[in-house]
Amino acid sequence: MKKLYSDLQSLKNTFLPRIESQLDIWLTMIEGPQKGLIEAARYSCLGSGKRFRPLLTLAVASRSHEPDTAALVAACAIELIHTYSLIHDDLPCMDNDDLRRGKKALHKVVGEGLALLTGDFLLTFAFECLATCEQMPVHMKLELIARLTKAAGHRGMVGGQYADLTCHQHPQTAEFLKWMHLCKTGALMRASLEFGAIVSGCAQQEVAIWGDFGEKFGLLFQFVDDLIDSLPSSMPSSVPIGPSSYIAFNGVEDTLIEVQKLKNQLIEMATTLDQDRTIFQEMIQAVTDQYETLPQIANPS
């Protein structure tokens, strides 16, 4: 069978505008007392973000058929949850970041209260979008909602964030840190790939394997993020390394070895899951490129 999308660029060319348009429609401005809430959600959701997670959903969904509306809705629901997590993560009571997606973090623009509520809105709205999607059979909605609540909740992202916030109370072992990152970043990545498999009708066993791929992908993502954070403080991208950073525990050299190991495992998994592994291989490379193509890494003086 001929591949619908032969590489990452062709997938992006088709789906980045569709993702943007779906989010834009969902967040249509309304007049009325909640107008400011929609405006704040639009500020954080639209026009920026790499859209890694929805692209992963659509990459899996597009292996044999053109992804349908259900696939797009599933992909964009994940992006709503991801955006909520970034808004809350940036708050002073969490990571206290002033910048996000190349502009001021939402709370720096609208204040902490409204930023908190905007995150709450996006979190709940993601489930409304799934539950009310007319192009999805009820059994599919239930399965997606069950998996997304698990990924976003105490056994996934929020549980991982809690472990991070209270990391001084836990034994600082490599296993603990890996588990924490698997929850914090890996769980939503797992759901992104599971979603692609579910909307394209895969059997449970295959859904699980795509999920495992997603979890590893999330770990790779987090390690690369930690490597970028660990660059000297003179670099604009660097932030102080927190005690729960994998690098604080294992150092840069070992983290780089771990990254290479994960990369090899992921490529092997992608080859088993998809004979034409190009898109997934390119996605894995896109993650590590975030670090490897930084001028100070690519061309050290």
Residues that bind ligand GRG (CB under 6 A): 49-50, 52, 82, 85-86, 88-89, 94, 101, 157-158, 161, 184-185, 221-222, 225
Nearer to ligand GRG, 32 or 113 (CB): 113
Cβ neighbours for 74, distance < 8 A, ≥ 6 positions apart: 57, 61, 130, 136, 144, 195, 196, 198, 199
CA nearest 247: which of 262, 263, 227, 261?
227
Alpha helix stretches (DSSP H) within 95-235: 106-110, 112-131, 138-152, 157-165, 174-181, 187-199, 204-229
Q: How far is the CB of 116 from ligand GRG (least distance, A)?
A: 10
Nearer to ligand GRG, 136 or 180 (CB): 180
Nearer to ligand GRG, 65 or 103 (CB): 103
Q: How far is the CB of 222 from ligand GRG (least distance, A)?
A: 5
Q: How far is the CB of 196 from ligand GRG (least distance, A)?
A: 16
3-state class of 8 per DSSP? helix
Distant-in-sequence contacts of 129-133, Cβ < 8 A, 24+ apart: 129/26, 129/73, 129/76, 129/77, 129/80, 130/73, 130/74, 130/77, 133/69, 133/70, 133/73
Beta carbons of 145 and 126 less than 8 angstroms apart: no
Q: How far is the CB of 219 from ligand GRG (least distance, A)?
A: 11
Nearer to ligand GRG, 158 or 191 (CB): 158
Nearer to ligand GRG, 205 or 233 (CB): 233
Rg (CA), the chain: 19
Neighbours of 66 (CB within 10 A): 10
Q: How far is the CB of 1 from ligand GRG (least distance, A)?
A: 31
d(CA 253, CA 79) in angstroms, rounded, equals 32
d(CA 51, CA 20) in angstroms, rounded, equals 9
Neighbours of 48 (CB within 10 A): 13
Nearer to ligand GRG, 89 or 202 (CB): 89
Cα atoms found within 13 Å of the Cα of residue 2, Cβ hemisphere only: 1
Q: How far is the CB of 10 from ligand GRG (least distance, A)?
A: 20
Nearer to ligand GRG, 202 or 246 (CB): 246
Nearer to ligand GRG, 20 or 276 (CB): 20
Q: How far is the CB of 94 from ligand GRG (least distance, A)?
A: 5
Give burial (CB, 10 Å; 0-12/13-18/19+) of 24. middle
Q: How far is the CB of 158 from ligand GRG (least distance, A)?
A: 5
